[in-house]
Amino acid sequence: MAGWAHHLIIAPVLLPLVAGALLAVYDERRQFLKGLINLFSTLANLAIAITLLQAADTDAPGVYLLGNWPAPFGIVLVLDRLSAMLVLLTAVLATASLIFSMARWHTVGHHFHTLFQFLVMGVNGAFLTGDLFNLFVFFEVMLASSYGLLLHGSGPRRVQASLHYVVINLTAAFFFLVGVALIYGVTGTLNMADLAARIPALAAENRVLLEVGAAILAIAFLVKAAMWPLGFWLLSAYPAAAPPVAAIFAILSKVGLYALLRLRPLLFGGEAGDAAGYGGTLLFAGGLATIAFGILGVLASQAMTRIASFSLMISSGTVLAAIGLSDTQVTSGSLFYLASSTLTISAFFLLIELIERGQNPGADLIAVTAEAMGAEPDAEDTATEGGIGFPGTLAILGACFVACALLLIGLPPLSGFVAKLALLAALFAPAGEGAAAGLSAANWAFIVLLLLSGVATLMTLSRVGIRAFWAPVDAVAPRVLAVEVAPVVALLLLTLVLAVKGGAVMQYMDETARSVLTPSAYVEDVLSAPRVPPAKAGLQ
Amino acid sequence: MALLLATCIGILAGSGVWLLLRPRTYQVVIGLSLCALAVNLFIFSMGRLRSGAPPVLSSTAGALADYADPVPQALVLTAIVIGFATTALLLVVLLAARGFTGTDHVDGQER
């Protein structure tokens, strides 16, 4: 990248920051204008993300030196395949949930658009930064806006869920800080690439401290990624959130996964000497436990939002286990799975609200369960709706539900099947030394849990689907606007594109997994990034 | 000095964790603040304990060993600001929860 295009790397952070600040100026009566600004910024962000993805598809990551300070001293932004892919995924989810919220959800509370932009900024920044402490700052930007968004719409249930969510995330932030401080104390640097370069030369007596620091740091990421004993907060927070908020929150757990996937090969990759491979077993076991917990939860759930939350945990667990194995093929399969499942769960959260809108809240089991959990009828459910209704609503919603189910279960023809196939194929054919000895017990456990998760989702979703679409005798078609169905359909169509273009996408994921797991090019590029020559004084 | 600082951090963190596990929201907020103090002191101590060494280079620069490490001090500053802001936000949520449920129990109901 040359010329002005080089500065595009910082655009996914700057654009939402400027837009969010601008939105904070207008008061709440100018909802339409605010929505328009937000939509414009989100669409521009999507276009930038697509451009960045094309630019990132090389072996040399793009490095942006903030303030033109050379790499280990200043903060760097790094754009490689993994970051570009996740920035694009964020932009897609943001566009979908924003368009969905424009129908009515953005008016149920204050400062929705501002917080939305800041959330996008935090997530993008976390994906792009190459500095550990900067990662913390972007994490906090993301979390602070997510606190506000979780409260969007208010009501006792949301406030209660927020209280727990905020406390847990603040505590996790302390773990983050302690971990970062320990790592800095031992290595004397916070730049991720510089860390990778310094760790092999670390004195043996300091290695334990480094490992303790990394483990404490990992707790912060694992809380965010909702690994089994650390992820219970997700089950009260996500179902309580407003649907468009839950849809964009689907990317938040991926930030934790991203940080693990990025840092583990850098800190404890093959070149790290004695520290190499630290924590792999624990991540793998934790991932499997998360899948197992998710399976039980999916089977036990009645409410659709809870099923979606447990599905999110299953997808987190699957990626975590893959990170623990640190095998190129498995990782590339899990990246495909990550993209596919994030799109699916986001669409599912949006869809659930549309489906449940049509149901009589007093009569069915879902509402009973919700009441047992201490929920009260939400005020916004009684709000009047304007606009044009959508014909054939139930048919469309039913078709979308079937598509979501196919994706979550992993049945053809959508991308959920391709993703699971790629993962299973990689697990059945392990590369390297284990190839001759047959499949290891770990691989078998992963395969079995992966298949079981599909079966459990199939059972639950058919039960819920029958109850929602076939059982009601006097079904009243929910009043749904075209602008609300469109994002769901668009997200599901994207998964179809992922499946149809499976070959090209899989190739991209292979390259991504390879460059993430062997980060020598990343380290070299960051540390040797050339500074922009100083501008000549005066014009000539 | 190291022992004193370590004891301070330990006491702050210990009381913070104990308060964090209490059922009243106000205790939780104070617990979080104490934990934040402990963490900030910890970050600060990661730049090695020195007294009388400035972190900012002067014009009559001597050897690098005459200076304290400025990075942890900058980190602490950032951490304090972020912790302050999020605690303020938590207080708002706390008041809202109190208003909705009529109790200051973290679960919104006694027992």
**Which of B39, B101, B108 faces A178 most closely, judged by CB atoms?**
B39
Closest residue by Cα to residue A322 from A264, A271, A245: A264
Q: Given a cut of 50, is residue A539 above it in pLDDT?
A: no
Q: Given a cut of 70, is residue A393 above it in pLDDT?
A: yes
Q: Which residues of chain B does A122 touch, with a Cβ-Cβ cutoff of 8 Å? A: none
Percent of residues, chain A, with pLDDT higher than 90: 50
When pLDDT is averaged across residues A237-255 and rounded to a whole number, the result is 92
When pLDDT is averaged across residues A467-488 and rounded to a whole number, the result is 80
* pLDDT computed for residue B83 by the predictor: 87
B42: three-class secondary structure by DSSP = helix
Higher local confidence (pLDDT), A532 or A376: A532
Question: What ipTM was reported for this prediction?
Answer: 0.93
> Which residues, 6 or more positions from A455, have their beta carbon under 8 angstroms from its beta carbon?
none
Q: Given a cut of 60, is residue A360 above it in pLDDT?
A: no
* Residue A450: HSE in the Cβ half-sphere, 13 Å Cα cutoff: 29
Which amino acid would we find at residue A252?
A: L
* pLDDT computed for residue A155 by the predictor: 83
Q: Name the residue in chain A with its Cα closest to that of B70.
A: A188
List pLDDT tens digits, range A28-61.
Answer: 788 888 889 999 999 999 999 999 998 888 878 8
When pLDDT is averaged across residues B53-81 and rounded to a whole number, the result is 83
Closest residue by Cα to residue A289 from A251, A254, A318: A318
Q: Which residues of chain B does A160 touch, with a Cβ-Cβ cutoff of 8 Å? A: 97, 100-101, 107-108
List pLDDT tens digits, range A297-314.
Answer: 999 988 889 999 999 999
Binary contact (B93, A147; C-beta < 8 A) = yes
Rg (CA), chain B: 19
A201: three-class secondary structure by DSSP = helix
Banded pLDDT at A381 (limits 50, 70, 90): very low
Distance from CA of A537 to the nearest CA of B (A): 25
**Which of B25, B75, B89 faces A144 most closely, judged by CB atoms?**
B89
If interface means Cβ-Cβ distance under 8 Å, which residues of chain A face chain B? Answer: 133, 137, 140, 143-144, 147-148, 151, 154-156, 159-160, 162-164, 166-167, 170-171, 173-174, 177-178, 180-182, 184-185, 190, 374
**Which of A155, A181, A374 faces B43 most closely, judged by CB atoms?**
A181
Interface test with A, best of B19, B49, B80, B86 (most A CBs within 10 A): B86
* pLDDT computed for residue A245 by the predictor: 93
**Which of A148, A167, A374 faces B32 most closely, judged by CB atoms?**
A167
Do residues A91 and A46 lie in contact, with contact meaning Cβ atoms separated by under 8 Å? Answer: yes
Banded pLDDT at A318 (limits 50, 70, 90): very high
Closest residue by Cα to residue A253 from A128, A449, A86: A86
List pLDDT tens digits, range A157-189.
Answer: 888 899 999 999 999 999 999 999 999 999 988
How far apart are alpha carbons A149 and B85 in whole angstroms?
A: 16
Kindly report which listed range (A269-273, A284-288, A516-520) carries the lowest average pLDDT score.
Answer: A269-273
Q: Which residues of chain B does A374 touch, with a Cβ-Cβ cutoff of 8 Å? A: 108-109
Binary contact (A144, B28; C-beta < 8 A) = no
How far apart are alpha carbons A107 and A101 in whole angstroms?
A: 9
Closest residue by Cα to residue A424 from A388, A462, A453: A453
How far apart are alpha carbons A336 and A319 in whole angstroms?
A: 10
Binary contact (B93, A162; C-beta < 8 A) = yes
Distance from CA of B9 to the nearest CA of A (A): 12
Q: Which residues of chain A does B100 touch, with a Cβ-Cβ cutoff of 8 Å? A: 155-156, 159-160
* pLDDT computed for residue A30 by the predictor: 83
Counts of helices then strands in chain B (DSSP H, E): 3, 0
